């Protein structure tokens, strides 16, 4: 054996550098794949376990969340909810859990713009009109008025959601906490862990 190349004598001397190049390229590709998978190559379950460590339900409603995370969550929750409503029981339970997360995100977004979390009740205004729209004992005139009221209140809550998506957060720490880190892991930001 040749001491310099660890290649048996008589083998082609050009094979070892080619194998080293291939091995180095494979190592580079593996590192890029690990980085693309969320750093360190942690699997989805590992990231989920890491994100939920230190989880407390009450933390969902305290603190602040930045505008970008709120927008991404809102769009993802809308798409996920649209899919989940077609799954009979499990989908409805998951949709309910998603709704609780949405309320928590909205409260924390309100905190980010230095508003009290009770303004989240604006999103429940369409239910008031729905009560009048469903009340069939009131007669057809009241049912039509209830449907119109529901539409108006739905537009008000949609306008409020757009306001939360567009309004910039408080640039300094406020009574609800420090400025949220925009580079924070998305799942940790949603669960506030």
CA 27, 29, 30, 31 dihedral sign is: positive
Mean pLDDT of 160-184: 85
Q: What is the pLDDT of residue 146?
A: 60
Asked whether residue 12 carries a pLDDT value surpassing 60, the answer given is no
Residue with tokens 């190349």: 5
| Number of domains making up the chain | 1
DSSP labels, 95-116: HHHHHHHHHHHHHHHHHHTT--
> φ and ψ at 68, to 5 degrees?
-65, -45
Q: At what angle do helices 140-166 and 67-84 cross, to 10 degrees?
A: 140
Assigned domain for 33 exists: yes
Assigned domain for 177 exists: no
Q: What is the pLDDT of residue 41?
A: 45
> Tens digits of per-residue pLDDT, 176-192?
888 887 777 777 777 77
3-state secondary structure labels for all residues of 10-70: CCCCCHHHHHHHHHHHHHHHHHHHHHHCCCCCCCHHHHHHHHHCCCCHHHHHCCCCCHHHH
Assigned domain for 161 exists: no
> Tens digits of per-residue pLDDT, 94-112?
888 888 888 999 999 999 8
Give 4's DSSP letter. Answer: T
Distance (Å, rounded) from C-alpha 78 to C-alpha 99? 10
Assigned domain for 34 exists: yes
Asked whether residue 134 carries a pLDDT value surpassing 70, the answer given is no
Q: What range does the domain containing 29 cover?
A: 11-39
Distance (Å, rounded) from C-alpha 61 to C-alpha 103? 8
Q: 127 with 134: CB under 8 angstroms?
A: no
């Amino acid at each position: 054996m040749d001491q310099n190349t660890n290649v048996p004598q008589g083998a082609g001397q050009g094979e070892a550098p080619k194998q080293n190049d291939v091995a180095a390229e494979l190592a580079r590709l593996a590192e890029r794949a690990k980085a693309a998978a969320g750093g360190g190559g942690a699997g989805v379950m590992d990231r989920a376990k890491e994100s939920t460590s230190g989880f407390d339900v009450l933390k969902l409603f305290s603190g602040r969340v930045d505008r970008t995370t709120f927008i991404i969550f809102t769009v993802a929750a809308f798409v996920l909810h649209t899919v989940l409503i077609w799954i009979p029981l499990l989908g409805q339970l998951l949709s309910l859990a998603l709704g609780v997360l949405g309320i928590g995100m909205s409260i924390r977004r309100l905190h980010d713009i230095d508003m009290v979390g009770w303004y989240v009740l604006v999103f429940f205004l369409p239910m008031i009109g729905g009560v009048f729209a469903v009340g069939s004992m009131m007669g057809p005139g009241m049912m039509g008025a209830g449907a119109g009221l529901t539409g108006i209140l739905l537009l008000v809550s949609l306008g409020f959601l757009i306001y939360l998506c567009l309004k910039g957060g408080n640039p300094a720490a406020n009574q609800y906490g420090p400025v949220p880190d925009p580079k924070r892991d998305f799942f940790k930001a949603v669960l506030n862990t």
